[in-house]
A = this chain, B = another copy of it.
């Protein structure tokens, strides 16, 4: 399992090959095993295969990226990552054969517990995808245009739009990921004693 976690990478380019319902269902089942506040399981997953809906979701991501997010990120991301996100947000993400729109049912959780109730499930989904050889990436750009996403997917106004996860088969091998050392991010007892 540790080896699987090390292999998990953001994938933003996909082949044309389809992803079967059986594979989609396995990653969704993995997602639903995650913990949530009060075990209320407020997650909602809309599996989008329709080419026109995926194009519309892609357009939402493109507008959110070019309309502001890119300006925020361009001084912060390494050039290779910026180029990859650029390509993803302006077209290659929309080409993934499956988009999983992830929502949070606000009749089942408070706004302040959306994060702790949804992203553990999202991480299970991403790990399961990795385990099956699928490419995937956690995106939240579309969540900034929640009304438009709800209109496309028929989600009720009480469903908070949290994430969009493209799923498909990776178009190229993904290299190893880089991480800050534990001594920078972990501490003993208090924040002045690095691990």
Using a Cβ–Cβ cut-off of 8 Å, how many residues does chain A contribute to the interface with B?
71
Tell me what chain A mostly uses at the interface: helix, strand, loop, or mixed.
Answer: mixed
**Is the Cβ of B123 less than 8 Å from the Cβ of A32?**
no
The answer to whether A43 has its CB under 8 Å from any CB of chain B is yes
**Is the Cβ of A46 less than 8 Å from the Cβ of B190?**
yes
> In the docked arrangement, what's the CA distance between A182 and B178, Å?
35
**Is the Cβ of B154 less than 8 Å from the Cβ of A32?**
no
> In the docked arrangement, what's the CA distance between A123 and B76, Å?
26
From B43, B77, B156, give the contact of A185 (CB < 8 A).
B43
Mark A residues whose CB is within 8 Å of B. Answer: 1-2, 4-6, 8, 10, 25-26, 28-30, 32-35, 37-41, 43-50, 53, 73, 76-77, 81, 113-116, 118-120, 122-124, 126-128, 131, 137-138, 140, 153-156, 159, 163, 177-180, 182, 185-192, 195
